[in-house]
Amino acid sequence: METTRNAKMYFGRPGSMYGLISLLVMLFLTVYQVIMSYCVLSGDNEHFSELLLYFAAFIIAEWIYYFIFAVVQNRHISLEMISFALSSISLFVTASVSPEKTGTQFIAIFAGLAVYIAMILYMTNTTRTSALRMPMALAAIGLLAFTLVFASYTHGAKNWIYIGPVSIQPSEFVKLAFIYVGAATLDKLQSSKSLTAYVFFSVGCVGLLGLMSDFGTALIYFATFLIIAFLRSGDIRTIVLVCTAALIGAILILTLKSYILNRFASYRHIWEHMYDSGGYQQTRTLIYAASGGFFGVGIGNGHLRDVFAASEDLIFGLISEELGMMTAFIIVISLALLALAAAYNAKFARSSFFTIAACAAAGMIIVQTALNVFGVTDFLPLTGVTLPFVSRGGSSMICSWGLLAFIKAADSRTYPARPQTRLKEARDR
Amino acid sequence: MKTINKRTILIIAVTAVFLAFTALLMFSMFSHAEEYALKTINAHLFDNGILINAGDIVDSNGVKLAYTENGERKYAENSDTRAALLHIIGDDKGFIDGGIQDTFREDLCGYNIVYGVNKTSGNTLKLTLDSKLCASAYNALYPYKGCIAVCNYKTGELVCIATSPSYDVYNKPNDLDDEEKYEGVYINRLFGGLYTPGSTFKTVTALGAIENIDDIFNQTFYCSGSYSLGGGKIICNDVHGTVTFKQALNQSCNVAFAQIAVQLGADNLNKAFETAGLGISHDTIDRLHTKSGICAASESISENELGWAGIGQSTTLVNPYSFLNFMCAVANGGTSYEPYFVKSAVNGSGRAVYEAEPVSSGVSINPSTASTLKELLRSNVSDYYGDYMFGGLTMCGKTGTAEIDNKQPHAWFVGFSYDDSFPYAVVAVLENSGSGLKYAGGAAAKIMTELYEKL
């Protein structure tokens, strides 16, 4: 009974086209995904039935989600639609480049969705949000320390843990804890003690990542720390001070361990390093991205896929080449849209926890996207980080959905069960 | 709560900066896309640096000189054509310097930012050259090294180029780097060659004389077979007796021209060299750069050396392309268009994406001087070499037999058709062959008459 009423409201809300538009977007997305499925499966595909199953299951799951949350529960699901679109591209690229890993990627996407739903449910109760702060902080540091001790070096960084057939990147999960801890201390806003504690926690995380030689991730954490610190203190001077301190620290480290600098020596000189590791990936990315033109050479017809980490770090180039520069840039702009949605949501969030968490998550997405896209195109030094939602990889995918949960939780419409409170809160502002 | 909400502006600012950089990246990608896509490591277009995906190259009659078939680069059917034009077309492995498969790579591949490398057919490059004539010229050079080129002096269009030594791209010899007969095989001698000009240089000395020595046509010179000059001797090819300026040029009298060079002085001889456009490096329309010539005449030159310089010996060196261009200017009333051979690049739908725009070669000779010189060069053929040599053509020209230490001399012929309804100029150099008239004159005559019969 209530479902029908909600559905009527969703599609027939006076003066609102939202229901209709979201249905059209869903249909458009489905058509796109069906075409992509066809393109990946066409030709002599030995994994045909397996892949078809994953693609069909993905599209069906998407519609189930739409039906439950949009139609039945009468909610806005624009952010999820973007995430579904981006995730599906990662699924198609994985299926095309390394079909044997499609199952893993499929599971990762839905594990991410599960984490997303669980986090949204957990954050329903605003008073509960800061409860796990201390255990989370300890777990985060513990996990990073564990990684540092037990991980082996993989392609220059010590950030992978192998448990049987499963390989995970703990620093991805710790990102969520890092934001949670940073945002949760917030309710004691002006307390310098809690801020100091958070600074120590952050230095610990960034330091451990630095020791793992995972400088890209360390930089993402540091940028996120700056955003949280600014939102908490609102003090530009503090930020400048922190940045200066960090810069001095970085210079000190680089002077002491100058070999680190060698990793970035090819920056802005990639064409002189076309045949060595310094510029191999970046030059191929640019060459093949350009080869794709606006519309791409078609999935499966590219050459960048033969380069190491093509569907992870170089995904921007691979998509430019095979699906076209238009698609590649639309993906980048979509990620920026998630950040803008976060900024909008954060303004009207239920409490400062949600404001901080949404902004931190948005900042993390933007910084990571920037390091990935600008890194492979030589605008920034190449640090080897993933593109949120799009790169192949389970840990990264789950983390991306977790970040989305922070953004979504800040949207006051996410928790419609308490309309009175919401109105009251809005009035309080 | 309120203050913290205001601080969310930070995220908007960060995102704005991010989007600005994204726009910059788009701009950078769009403006460099062609450059990136055409890198030789792009496996869409190249296979181990070998161009596999490019359009056709056709001659002036539509004969295919290069094309792609089943992902493989193919060349002209005729093996002589392939060898004659090796340096013009270039190979697909990057051995040949300055081939149009390299210099016109962008126009040939037809990269387009919208379609990427999808338009695999590429563009068709149309040349002004006649491949049959080129093959004949290549055979006319045999067995000597050297080059032949024929150019329309009214338009600058080259119709024939052949360079030797060369090889067939389909059967690249293994001993290219060791055999003496392949010395300098990777170089296009028309553009990159520098030779002692020998008596062809008397055209330059004559140019200087006409401009600077008022009574040059009233002077006579006595040739006894040799002439003592500045403590040395100028040796002549014959005993010419008393000759006028015109007769001296006809008979290529060294004694007379050595005296004329001394009369002119190093400075004026140098000026004539520059006026003829022989001292500069031409940046051609076809994106090639010629070697700049060297004139022996300098301030510190001895009288004897100046005498030798006036007859094209000493340390003077000239480039065949530049000399051809000089002849075009003389034939064309004092100025010429830069010679070129790539006419256009046409895409699949027939639209020209590149079209050669004739530009002045920069050579500017006084029209009356040019006309006087033209008559003198006409007289060389009509009064001395004999018109029978060129079949029915009314040719102007000058031969050269450039003496080289311990080797057979280089044979030269430079000239052009007097009749401007057949406006072609020619240069022929046959290294270490022998007499200029016999070898180079013969080869030039063969090609010019063949061209005449075609038209």
Residue A86 lies in a domain: no
Token pair for A325 = 């520069």
The arithmetic mean of pLDDT across residues A390-407, rounded, is 96
Between CA A175 and CA A166 the distance in angstroms is 20
Question: Is the CB of A329 inside 8 Å of chain B's CB atoms?
Answer: yes
Length of chain A as a residue count = 429
The arithmetic mean of pLDDT across residues A206-217, rounded, is 90
Residue partners of B252: CB distance under 8 A and separation at least 6: B199, B202, B237, B398, B399
Question: Is the CB of B24 inside 8 Å of chain A's CB atoms?
Answer: yes
Query: Using an 8 Å Cβ cutoff, are B452 and B391 in contact?
Result: yes
pLDDT attached to residue A9: 62
Mutation pick from A195, A224, A280, A294 vs chain B, by most beta carbons of B within 10 Å, is A294
Distance from CA of B339 to the nearest CA of A (A): 34
Residue A376 confidence class, pLDDT cut points 50, 70, 90: very high
Residue A148 lies in a domain: yes
Question: Is the CB of A206 inside 8 Å of chain B's CB atoms?
Answer: no
The CB density around residue B333, as the number of other CB atoms within 10 Å, is 16
Mutation pick from A268, A285, A291 vs chain B, by most beta carbons of B within 10 Å, is A291
Query: Using an 8 Å Cβ cutoff, are B59 and B127 in contact?
Result: yes
Nearest Cα to Cα of residue B275 among B176, B207, B181? B207
The arithmetic mean of pLDDT across residues A142-169, rounded, is 84
Nearest Cα to Cα of residue B329 among B288, B274, B366? B366
Residue B389 lies in a domain: yes
Does one domain contain both B295 and B437? yes
In this structure, is the dihedral angle defined by the CA atoms of residues A250, A251, A256 and A261, taken in order, positive or negative?
positive
The rounded percent of chain A whose pLDDT value lies above 90 is 61
Is the model's pLDDT at A419 over the cut of 70?
no
* Number of folded domains that form chain B: 2
The arithmetic mean of pLDDT across residues A313-334, rounded, is 96
- Whole-number mean pLDDT of chain A? 88
Residues of chain B found within 8 Å of residue A290, distances taken between Cβ atoms: 29, 32-34, 36-37, 113, 116
Mutation pick from B5, B6, B15, B31 vs chain A, by most beta carbons of A within 10 Å, is B15
Mutation pick from A179, A190, A284, A359 vs chain B, by most beta carbons of B within 10 Å, is A359
Q: What is the predicted ipTM?
A: 0.94
Is the model's pLDDT at A429 over the cut of 50?
no
Residue A187 confidence class, pLDDT cut points 50, 70, 90: low
For helices A18-41 and A48-65, what crossing angle results, to 10°?
A: 170
CB contact under 8 A, A329 and B12: no
Q: Residues of A numbered 89-148 whose beta carbons fall under 8 angstroms of chain B's beta carbons: which are they?
A: none
Nearest Cα to Cα of residue B198 among B296, B298, B336? B296
Question: Is the CB of A303 inside 8 Å of chain B's CB atoms?
Answer: yes
Distance from CA of A348 to the nearest CA of B (A): 7
Domain that holds residue A323: 126-428
Does one domain contain both B147 and B32? no
Distance from CA of A31 to the nearest CA of B (A): 23
Residue B129 lies in a domain: no
Residue B215 lies in a domain: yes
Between CA A242 and CA A110 the distance in angstroms is 38
B413 burial level (CB within 10 Å; 0-12, 13-18, 19+): buried
Residue A99 lies in a domain: no
Q: Write out chain B's pLDDT in tens, 455 residues.
A: 567 888 899 999 999 999 999 999 999 999 999 899 988 888 888 877 777 778 899 999 999 999 988 878 899 999 999 999 999 998 877 788 788 988 898 888 878 888 888 755 688 999 999 999 999 999 999 999 999 999 999 999 999 999 999 999 898 888 888 888 888 899 999 999 999 999 999 999 999 999 999 999 999 999 999 999 888 889 998 999 999 999 999 999 999 999 999 999 999 999 999 999 999 999 999 999 999 999 988 888 899 999 999 999 989 999 999 999 999 999 999 999 999 999 999 987 788 889 999 999 999 999 999 999 999 999 999 999 999 999 889 999 999 999 888 899 999 999 999 998 999 999 999 999 999 999 999 999 999 999 999 88
Count chain A–chain B contacts defined by CB atoms under 8 A. Answer: 144
pLDDT attached to residue B423: 96
Name the residue of chain B whose CA is nearest to A229's CA.
B7
Does one domain contain both B434 and B296? yes
Q: Is the pTM of this model over 0.80?
A: no
Residue A115 lies in a domain: no
Does one domain contain both B28 and B166? no
* Number of folded domains that form chain A: 1
Q: Residue by residue, what is the 3-state secondary structure of chain A? A: CHHHHHHHHHHHCCCCCHHHHHHHHHHHHHHHHHHHHHHHHCCCCCCHHHHHHHHHHHHHHHHHHHHHHHHHCCCCCHHHHHHHHHHHHHHHHHHHHCHHHHHHHHHHHHHHHHHHHHHHHHCCCHHHCCCCHHHHHHHHHHHHHHHHHHCEEECCEEEEEEECCEEECHHHHHHHHHHHHHHHHHHCCCCHHHHHHHHHHHHHHHHHHHHCCCHHHHHHHHHHHHHHHHHHHCCHHHHHHHHHHHHHHHHHHHHHCCHHHHCCCCCCCHHHHCCCCCCHHHHHHHHHHHHHCCCCCCCCCCCHHHCCCCCCCCHHHHHHHHHCHHHHHHHHHHHHHHHHHHHHHHHCCCCHHHHHHHHHHHHHHHHHHHHHHHHHCCCCCCCCCCCCCCCCCHHHHHHHHHHHHHHHHHCHHHCCCCHHHHHHHHHHC
Is the model's pLDDT at A123 over the cut of 60?
yes
pLDDT attached to residue B46: 83
Residue A12 confidence class, pLDDT cut points 50, 70, 90: low
Name the residue of chain A whose CA is nearest to B6's CA.
A347
Residue A187 lies in a domain: yes
Residue B178 lies in a domain: yes
pLDDT in tens, B130-151: 999 999 999 999 999 999 999 9
- CATH number reported for the structural domain that contains residue B171 in this entry: 3.40.710.10
Is the model's pLDDT at A211 over the cut of 60?
yes
Residue A112 lies in a domain: no
Between CA B338 and CA B321 the distance in angstroms is 10
Nearest Cα to Cα of residue B2 among A383, A98, A189? A189
Question: Is the CB of A295 inside 8 Å of chain B's CB atoms?
Answer: yes
CB contact under 8 A, A294 and B115: yes
Q: Residues of B numbered 1-20 whose beta carbons fall under 8 angstroms of chain A's beta carbons: which are they?
A: 1-5, 7-12, 14-15, 18-19
Question: Is the CB of A294 inside 8 Å of chain B's CB atoms?
Answer: yes
| Alpha-carbon separation of residue A237 from A242, A244, A352, B295 (angstroms) | 9, 10, 22, 71
Least confident range of A186-190, A367-371, B450-454? A186-190
The arithmetic mean of pLDDT across residues A249-259, rounded, is 82
Residue B65 lies in a domain: no
Residue A40 lies in a domain: no
Residue B426 lies in a domain: yes
Domain that holds residue B22: 2-37
Residue A43 lies in a domain: no
Is the model's pLDDT at A223 over the cut of 50?
yes
Between CA B240 and CA B242 the distance in angstroms is 6
